[in-house]
A = this chain, B = another copy of it.
């Protein structure tokens, strides 16, 4: 661990080194060691799971939030309201991971003590990947739901032309016999995340209709134009293909995360967490066995292409973790340079030198 290498222009870095790099930056911002450890661990595990868009790739964004005063690294989350089954936490403009981890922990505790727990968070910032917190519940034997709004508008409502909602993701997890391998759904409510548009632009490829929206409200298939406009279609695309459903789901997430918690639209981020102890509803082992049977039924579905079996949500992430723990986390050269700039701005040592 601790070595980096340069493989075909892509650095690969060990999880351990990446963790140390992130905590060095957070320490320079004045974040407590405990909070830095929480946020860095979540970011690194997100990179291990192959969700490159939501791990260390977000560090430059967080640096801007810190520089512009939107992200307060010294903030201590505060519980504003608390009942046996529900709570509201104020992130106080801290990094989202810290308040979110505290919130899902509390929701899980409430579920274990009284069957279910809902904890919402207001006044927060980007919390990484929605699925991470849902997985957290599953690893402790609970069914978990994790939602967040996102103040940056991307989604254009069906029939509209203007960006109006964030990519407002849904994370959901349920534990089977192996709590380290839950059914795990982690999805933006847009057809694709913005990163996929940026990748198509770099590759010089056109976009499929249903990904991005043109200025007139129709589909935008020019990746360069779409990457500039940053206007994404809701899951489904247009009205004919069910785009009103993706738009409706994004609105549901907005209501549960922002309207319900009072997070200011277009500025603050809110999160919503639900944990359910399946043992309240039925025998835990029977639940886990039925979940495994359900997943096995999906995987046994005759595939269209024998080389590509039917997956269960979470399979790709699980495989990525296994692979990347061995091979390291690949970082694009552009991202390494961005991390170098973050280190320079914050006064942290740059640890990701080519080995």
Binding site for B on A (CB under 8 A): 81, 83-86, 88, 114-116, 118, 120, 143, 156-162, 164, 170, 172, 174, 183, 185, 187, 191-192, 208, 210, 216-218, 235-237, 240-242, 244-249, 251-252, 254-256, 258-262, 265, 274, 276, 278, 280-282, 286-287, 290-291, 293-294, 297-298, 301-305, 308-313
Contacts and interface: CB of A to CB of B under 8 A. Distances in A.
Contacts of A187: 242, 244-245, 248-249
Contacts of A278: 260
A16 B248 CA distance: 32
Nearest to A303: B159
Contacts of A291: 255, 259
Main secondary structure of the interface of A (DSSP, over half): mixed
Contacts of A218: 304
A251 B143 contact: no
Given A160-B301, A191-B236, A114 B276 contact: no
B192 A242 contact: yes
A281 B260 contact: yes
Contact of A84 (B84, B183, B191): B84
Contacts of A246: 235-236, 242
Contacts of A216: 304
A281 B271 CA distance: 13
Residue of A170, A192, A280 with most partner-chain B CB within 10 A: A280
Contact of A185 (B235, B252, B293, B310): B252
B265 A313 contact: no
A312 B293 CA distance: 38
Given A81-B280, A236-B191, A160 B260 contact: no
Given A161-B303, A185-B248, A260-B143, A120 B310 contact: no
B302 A249 contact: no
B235 A262 contact: no
A34 to B, nearest CB: 27
A280 B161 contact: no
Query: Which of A143, A208, A241: most chain B Cβ within 10 A?
Result: A241
A265 B235 CA distance: 28
Contacts of A120: 281
A338 B302 CA distance: 37
